Every structure is written in structure tokens, then in C-alpha cells.
Chain A
Amino acid sequence: MATRLSGVARAFGDRVVLDSLDLELRDGEFTALLGRSGSGKSTLLRALAGLDDEVTGAIDVTDSVAVAFQEPRLVPWKRLLANITLGLDAPADKAKAALAEVGLAERSDAWPLTLSGGEAQRASLARALVREPELLLLDEPFSALDALTRITIHQLVLELWARHRPAVLLVTHDVDEALLLADRVLVLDEGRIAHDISITAERPRHREDPALVTLRNTLLAALGVSPEGRS
């Protein structure tokens, strides 16, 4: 079931963050949502995740949603495996398989606080994917990782997406990340989807790909940044 939003609005006091926003997310499509800081990217994601009670408008979204947050948000007093199965009736071997998929099979007995940042973020992905969501929401889950870890997790996310095929909405402020991962890039500005760009380049993609360089300049301009520095 595709996700449809129409006339979605949200204001914090006098500040309007989402303003009669319309959006459709198609099944199995990897969408990246870009926007300046404070543009309402995370507000939109939280609305889709059902975490915002005050958002108005029509939000038609599947029940099968999973979220990976910016911080991994593992439950610190539950060992890794128990974190993965939290709230699920699923048998333990399914959760173990999910941990194996993100390369954490050996750590299923570990306490979350003993994990590295990258490990914890991978565990958070496993916890989301073991639920076999139709819609996977990623709220800047790579922004706190170091550059090398980020590269490997980008690969991992693409692999997992290719295997499980959920619709993905990745909120990010990183244009390159969006270009490397997504089928479709949205730019949120003044409370609405200001740009909706499809990327057809084959994966794996390279930053130097001329088609991507052109798109990067377009997107940076859309975000109000001149790629050549201020002129």
C-alpha cells in the first residue's frame, strides 16, 4: 500500500513547519528527503511514524512502519537480542538472522552500552527490519557516524533494501548521501515539497558520475547553497 499525504500541516506556536503538504511514497521506492536545518524534515518523518498527535491533514500510511532514529535508541537494559525482539512474537532465530544480516551475530548477548556507534546503529536497523516493514523511516541515522563507518553502513542499507524492498524514506541533510542511495530525492522548503527529482543512475554509484555532479549542483542550488562557494 502506497503512502499518501495530502494537506498535511503542522505549526509550532506561530511557526508553520508543514503547510498543506502533499506527498506520495511508492512501494519499494527509496526516497531521500532533503531540506535545510529546521525545514521540517524530521517533523514530517515523525508524522509518518505516528509520533506527532498534533499534525493535521490526511495521512494514509500502512500499519507496517518501522523507524531507525538518529541515535540508535536501543533499550540499554536489554541485551541485543532482546532489543531486536522487543514487542514481537517472532521466534529468536528470526531475530538472530536479522542480527547476522547486519554483521552482529556474535554480539547477540552484548549489552547495548558496550557497542560502538556503528554497531549500535546497525542493531537499530536490524530491529527495524526484523519487523518486515512496508515503510522504513530513517531519521538521519548516519549523521553521527564517522566517515568510514558511514560508507559501510550505506552499503549495508542498500543491500538490506534490495533484499527486503520496503519503501524507504531517508531524512538527511547530506546531498551526497541522497544521491548515492535514493531513487528519488525530495527537497522540503517552506513547508512543502519544493523539488521532486528522480535518479535513474545505476547502483553502485560514484560521486564523480557526471550525471550526479549535475544533480548535486541542482540540489545544492535548491537548498540555497552555491556549490562553488559564495559569489
Chain B
Amino acid sequence: MSVVELARPVETPRATPKGPRRRVTAWHRWLSPLALLVIWQIASATGLLPERLLAAPATIASTAVELTQAGTLPTAIGVSLQRVLIGFLVGGAAGILLALAAGLSRAGENAVDPIMQALRALPFFGLIPLFILWFGIGEEPKILLVALAVSFPLYLNTFSGIRGVDGKLAEVAKTLKLSRGQLIRHIVLPGALPQTLVGLRQALGVAWLALIVAEQVNATTGLGYMINDAREFLRTDVIVVGLLVYSALGLATDAIVRLLERRALAWRRGFLA
């Protein structure tokens, strides 16, 4: 009997409509995280997991509400967002401009690329002591650390994007008698864009990482300060809220880039579909 069933595999699985099956699968994916939350809550409630190590999920949720109502959390988020934004803009502009300089001419490549490759090898978190000596403990070292972290992925990706533009299209540009400016505007830059967007996503990831590290150093405002301050008072609930906000902000900025990608790379969709 079983041999006959195996011989007719088409009838069984395909009979189930796709939609409901998918929804069931999606629902299944929530089960294990939920179970983990429940176990965590029970462990906290029974004293198995002491609050000075990790607060209970329910406590964390109510702390998040309290911090929001008191204005502490929104202010901290505002300060941290501002640091990331300014650092990102400064570093992004620097990375892309350097990539254009290096990508569009051999002389530019010889001038810029060796320096960038050498600097890239530096562990940039190791620069914090120097940054503190140079810029003190105010906003500048934090913003600059973010800027530095952001500039490398954007530089590297944009540079390789420019160099990776199809030489056959450059020939077309020549036969269509495009000027150098037109070649850059119509062929080189749009051709490099997909790779630049990859760099943008990497840059945003590393921007938040740099911010977290920078905010551990002598911050008096921002999410990092809120977390450090909470450590002094063993407030593990506040620490977890801070971490969750970091990851939510990271996911949100990533979603923005993905939206940007979908708009800017619409020409690829037909090819991906």
C-alpha cells in the first residue's frame, strides 16, 4: 500500500491551498519566542532568575511605559538619534565623495585608496582614547566615531560599485557621444547605486554599533547614558528597555533603506520577479 501512495506524490501536498498553510506557518514561528517569554516570566516570578541579573518581562514592559511617560526615554532617544543622524550624514558624505574621487580617475584612486585601505585596517573603537584626547568628552568624539564607522562601508561599496559598472555600457556611451559628465550621471552613478545601497545598509548597522560604544564613554545624555546610569542602580529593567530601543531603532533605519532600495532599484524588479 505505502508504495502506491509514494508513487502518487502529486495529489496530497498540492491539494492544500497555499494561503492558509502559510498563515499557520507564520503563527507557528511565534510559538517558541512566546514560550521563552513565558518561561522567563515564570523564572522571574519564582525567584529562579533574580531581578539584579535580569528583570521580568512584565517589569520591563511597565518600566518602558513609565520611562516614556516621564519623558526620560523620548529625550534619550532624541539625543541618540541626533548623534547617529549627524554622524551618519558627515561620514556618509565623506565616504561617498572619497569613493567618487577614487572611482572616477586613476589619479584619484592613487591618492585616496591606499590611505583608505590603511585606515580601514585600524580598529576604530581603539581610537576612542585618542578621540577623547583630541575632542574631549562632549558630542564631537561620539559623532565623529559614528562618522568614521559609517564612511568605510560606504566608501568601499561605492568605489567597487563604480569600478564594477559594465564596460560594455561605457562603450555604448561612447558611441552615443555622451560627454564625460553625462557618462558619470547616466551610466556610472546609477550603475554603482545598487552597491552603494548595500554599503548604506552596512553603514547603518555599524552606525548604531559605534553609537552604543561611543555612548558608553562619559555620556551625560542619550540611551547609552540611560543604560550606564541604570547599571549603577542595578536597574536591569531599564538596561533591557535601552537595548530593545537600540534594536528597534536599528530595524527601523534598515526598513527605511529597504524602502529606498525598492524605489531606487525598481528597474531590477522585473528581473528579480
B186: interface (CB < 8 Å) = yes
Chain B residues 218 to 273 lying within 8 A of chain A, measured CB to CB, are 266-271
Q: A87-B177, A87-B182 are in contact. Are A75 and B270 (CB under 8 A)?
A: no
Write out the residue numbers on chain A whose beta carbons fall within 8 Å of the beta carbon of B16.
none
Provide the bound-state CA to CA distance between A36 and B171, in Å: 24
A49 contacts B268, CB within 8 Å? no
A71: interface (CB < 8 Å) = yes
B169 contacts A78, CB within 8 Å? no
From A65, A69, A79, A111, give the contact of B172 (CB < 8 A).
A69
Give, as a whole number of angstroms, the nearest-CB distance from A72 to chain B.
10
B191: interface (CB < 8 Å) = yes
B190: interface (CB < 8 Å) = yes
B172 contacts A49, CB within 8 Å? no
Write out the residue numbers on chain B whose beta carbons fall within 8 Å of the beta carbon of A114.
270-271
B58: interface (CB < 8 Å) = no
Give, as a whole number of angstroms, the nearest-CB distance from A136 to chain B.
11
Question: Size of chain B's interface in residues, with CB distance under 8 A?
Answer: 22
From B174, B182, B267, give the contact of A77 (CB < 8 A).
B267
Give, as a whole number of angstroms, the nearest-CB distance from B58 to chain A.
51
Write out the residue numbers on chain A whose beta carbons fall within 8 Å of the beta carbon of B187.
75
B175 contacts A111, CB within 8 Å? no
A75 contacts B268, CB within 8 Å? no
Write out the residue numbers on chain A whose beta carbons fall within 8 Å of the beta carbon of B269.
111
A73 contacts B271, CB within 8 Å? no
| Residue in A closest to B193 when the chains form the complex, CB atoms | A77
Write out the residue numbers on chain B whose beta carbons fall within 8 Å of the beta carbon of A112.
267
| Residue in B closest to A49 when the chains form the complex, CB atoms | B175
Provide the bound-state CA to CA distance between A111 and B270, in Å: 8
Chain B residues 132 to 185 lying within 8 A of chain A, measured CB to CB, are 168-169, 171-178, 182
Question: Size of chain A's interface in residues, with CB distance under 8 A?
Answer: 23
A75 contacts B168, CB within 8 Å? no
Write out the residue numbers on chain B whose beta carbons fall within 8 Å of the beta carbon of A73.
168-169, 171-172
Provide the bound-state CA to CA distance between A8 and B268, in Å: 42
Provide the bound-state CA to CA distance between A76 and B182, in Å: 16
Give, as a whole number of angstroms, the nearest-CB distance from A67 to chain B.
4
Write out the residue numbers on chain A whose beta carbons fall within 8 Å of the beta carbon of B186.
75, 78, 86-87
From A65, A69, A78, A88, give the contact of B168 (CB < 8 A).
A69
A87 contacts B168, CB within 8 Å? no
Chain A residues 50 to 64 lying within 8 A of chain B, measured CB to CB, are 50-51
Chain A residues 122 to 168 lying within 8 A of chain B, measured CB to CB, are 127, 131
B175 contacts A75, CB within 8 Å? no
A113 contacts B267, CB within 8 Å? yes
Write out the residue numbers on chain A whose beta carbons fall within 8 Å of the beta carbon of B177.
87
Write out the residue numbers on chain B whose beta carbons fall within 8 Å of the beta carbon of A86.
176, 178, 186
Q: A87-B182, A113-B271, A114-B270 are in contact. Are A77 and B175 (CB under 8 A)?
A: no
A66: interface (CB < 8 Å) = yes
Q: A77-B191, A86-B186 are in contact. Are A66 and B178 (CB under 8 A)?
A: no
Write out the residue numbers on chain A whose beta carbons fall within 8 Å of the beta carbon of B175.
49-51, 65-67
Provide the bound-state CA to CA distance between A127 and B176, in Å: 9
Give, as a whole number of angstroms, the nearest-CB distance from A104 to chain B.
16
Provide the bound-state CA to CA distance between A114 and B171, in Å: 22
Write out the residue numbers on chain B whose beta carbons fall within 8 Å of the beta carbon of A77.
190-191, 193, 267
Write out the residue numbers on chain A whose beta carbons fall within 8 Å of the beta carbon of B176.
86-88, 127, 131
From B168, B172, B270, give the contact of A113 (CB < 8 A).
B270
| Residue in B closest to A82 when the chains form the complex, CB atoms | B186
Provide the bound-state CA to CA distance between A192 and B266, in Å: 47
Q: Which of B173, B177, B193 has the most CB of A within 10 A?
A: B177
Write out the residue numbers on chain B whose beta carbons fall within 8 Å of the beta carbon of A71.
168
Provide the bound-state CA to CA distance between A198 and B176, in Å: 31
Task: Known pairs A50-B175, A86-B178; list 15 more (Cβ under 8 Å).
Answer: A51-B171, A66-B175, A67-B172, A69-B171, A69-B172, A73-B168, A75-B187, A77-B267, A78-B190, A78-B267, A87-B176, A88-B176, A111-B266, A111-B267, A113-B270
